[in-house]
Each structure stands twice: as structure tokens, then as C-alpha cells.
Amino acid sequence: MPMLLESEIALELIQSPLNYTGGKFKLLPQILPLFPKNIDIFVDLFCGGANVGVNVPSKTTILNDTNDNLTLLFSMFKNLGNDFLSLLDEIIDKYGLSQSSKYGYDYYNCDSNTGLAPYNKNKFLKLREDFNNSKDVGYYHYAMLYTLILYSFNNQIRFNSNGQFNLPVGKRDYNEKMQLKLQKFINRLKEKEYKFSNLDFREFDISTLNSNSFVYVDPPYLITCATYNEQGGWSEKDEKDLLKLLDNLHSNNIKFALSNVLRSKGKENSILINWVNKNSTKYRVINLNYDYNNSNYQTKNKDSVTEEVLIINY
């Protein structure tokens, strides 16, 4: 019986410990079977919470995102391993935040329906203030950030234009589900070679890639609104420059897959649609079936249906 290569061994699907807007975890069963086999270098060019990057078998994975808070967190998870969990406990104890997995909700005069926000609010705000005023950029600083994420609204990550974390306190805390999710994510990062970078996609050096490399591209969507696309975060110029990069990858015999939407809530991405039509003999458009949580994409009004696609060049 021939020996399976590492990249042919199916990985257990694990979920990112970051609830990053537009995360593709629920789409993985649809998109992963479409990816090439035997990948040497996998590039998650807009990694976000890295739901895709940590679930693709490859020899090396590069997690890239312009938000350095994300990639520095991932780097810390990998470098510290289980020591990070101890650091997290230390911060939770220091600020007196709830630990429902240890003591339950009654201990904090709260219940699971209304949540733990009344107990945690002032403690959370103190932690947020200390983090935003911190000049340190070491492990402790990013452990503070992850603690904020755990106790923030919907476990999300968001910064204002001044670079300050600005989400309010959430209903949940560092419960058993989050603990397991974080532990599995840390274990996955330590299992193989992961590299982290903070490059604008235009600065990514594709000369380091070869025909056995694969680039997954999940950019901000031009016609939808999300936290990552606030304050003019993604423009028509960005969209056009990205499509030029994909054409360049194709010209260099490098496989790619692009996640995007062609139409959403009565809008259409004419730049992307025109590009797809122009390259219909080179690229294949695969329609995906998925409703995002906390969104109203599929409604009785057909104009509101979101047409999510995966575009591939192989």
C-alpha cells in the first residue's frame, strides 16, 4: 500500500478562536474538496481568523493579513503554546472577570439567557482602558487583547481609527467551548510550519511560489458592509489591483481560489463580473450555498439574495 503524503491526510476541521467577520468555517465542507491536492506552500492571503489556513493540508502555510493584531496573536499562540493559557488565566484573575466554566452563572448573580455582561462590564472596561493605554507590544499585551476578545460583544475584534479596541462587553466569557476551541487551534499551529506576515497583497512576493503552491484569496467584499471594510477599507482600485494579481498568478502557473460575491442585496460587483466574463475560458466560477450567521442574505425578496462564489484557475 503506498504511503500517503502529509498533504493527503485529512485534517480534523477546527474553528478559529477569533470570531472574525466573514469567516469561512461553515463553508469549508464545500470549498476544501475543490482545493488542489499535494500543496507545498499554501498562502492564505487575507487570512482573517485563519479558518481556512489552519484546515488546509500543506507542507508550509503562510498566514498573511494587513491587520498585524491577528498575525501577532497567531504567532504568540504558536510560540507560547500552553504557556499562553496560563497567561490568559493570570489576566482574567487580575481583573476579576467571570469564569462561568468554574463557578457557573449563579455565582455571579447572572443567568445564561441575559448573560454575564452586568458582572463583567466595569472590569472589562478597565482591561480595555489598560490595553489601549499600553505601550508594551510583547506577549502580555497581546494576551490582554485576546482576553478582551473573549469578553467582548460576539467575541469579535475591532479597532477605531486611532487604533484603540472599541467593542463593548459581551454576554459570554472564557467558557468551556472557547477553551476547547483555543486549545485545538494552538495545537494545530504547533503541528507544522506556519509563517506569519503583514503584507499588503500588492507587496506579496509571488516569486517565492511554484506550481505546487496554492493561493487562497478572501478579500473584503466590495459590495457588502463589514467591520473590516469600514472607513474606506476596500476600494474599486483595490479590487482591480487584486484581479491583476490573480491574472499574474495564473500567468506564472500558480493555482488560486478567490472567494467573493457577484451580487448581494440588490447590488452587483460589475468589476468582478466583467473580469469573470473576460476570462471565462481560463477561470471557473463555482456557486456556493451558504447563509452567514447574523445576516439576512436569503430573503423573500430575490433582489436580496447573495450570490457567493469560488473562482478558480485550475
Q: In this predicted structure, which of 75-79, 191-195, 262-266, 303-307 has the lowest mean pLDDT? A: 303-307
Burial class of 220 by CB neighbour count within 10 A (0 to 12, 13 to 18, 19+) = buried
Answer whether residue 309 shows pLDDT above 90. Answer: yes
- With bands split at pLDDT 50, 70 and 90, how would you rate the model's confidence at 8? very low
Say if residue 301's pLDDT is above 60.
no
* pLDDT per position as a tens digit, 137-174: 899 999 999 999 999 999 989 999 898 999 999 999 99
Quick one: pLDDT at residue 5? 42
Q: What local confidence, expressed as pLDDT, does residue 304 receive?
A: 61
3-state secondary structure 9-36: CCCCCCCCCCCCCCCCHHHHHHHHHHCC
Using the predicted structure, report yes or no on whether residue 260 has a pLDDT greater than 90. Answer: yes
pLDDT of residue 1: 38
Look at residue 230 and tell me whether its pLDDT is greater than 70: no
pLDDT at 231 over 80: no
| Homologous superfamily in CATH for domain 6-65+199-312 | Vaccinia Virus protein VP39 (3.40.50.150)
| Amino acid 300: pLDDT | 45
pLDDT for 226:
52
Residue 3 scores a pLDDT above 60: no
Is the pLDDT at 279 greater than 90? The verdict is yes
Tell me whether the CATH fold assigned to 6-65+199-312 matches the one assigned to 71-181.
no
**Dihedrals phi, psi of 285, to nearest 5 degrees:** -105, 120
pTM: 0.89
199-222: pLDDT as tens digits: 999 999 999 999 999 999 999 999
104 Cβ contact list (under 8 Å, min separation 6): none
**What's the average model confidence in pLDDT over 174-195?**
95
* Of 65-79, 175-189, 218-232, 247-261, minimum mean pLDDT range: 218-232
Q: What span, in angstroms and rounded, lies between the C-alpha atoms of 182 and 283?
A: 37
Radius of gyration over every alpha carbon of the chain, rounded to an integer in angstroms? 21
Joined grid coordinates for residue 225: 458592509
The residue assigned the cell 509571488 is 206
To the nearest whole percent, how much of the chain has pLDDT over 70?
Answer: 89
b/e burial code for range 145-166 (CB count within 10 A of at least 16 → b): bbbbbbbbeebebbeeeeeebe
Fold of the CATH domain 71-181: Adenine-specific Methyltransferase; domain 2 (1.10.1020)
Can you tell me the mean pLDDT for 257-279? 94
Section 300-312 average pLDDT: 76
pLDDT given for residue 232 in this prediction: 57
Mean of pLDDT values over 17-31: 90
Overall average pLDDT of the 224-250 stretch: 82
pLDDT in tens, 66-101: 999 999 999 999 999 999 999 999 999 999 999 999
Q: Average model confidence (pLDDT) for the chain?
A: 90
Task: Parse the chain into domains and list their residue ranges.
Answer: 6-65+199-312, 71-181
* pLDDT of residue 292 exceeding 90: no
Q: What is the pLDDT of residue 135?
A: 87
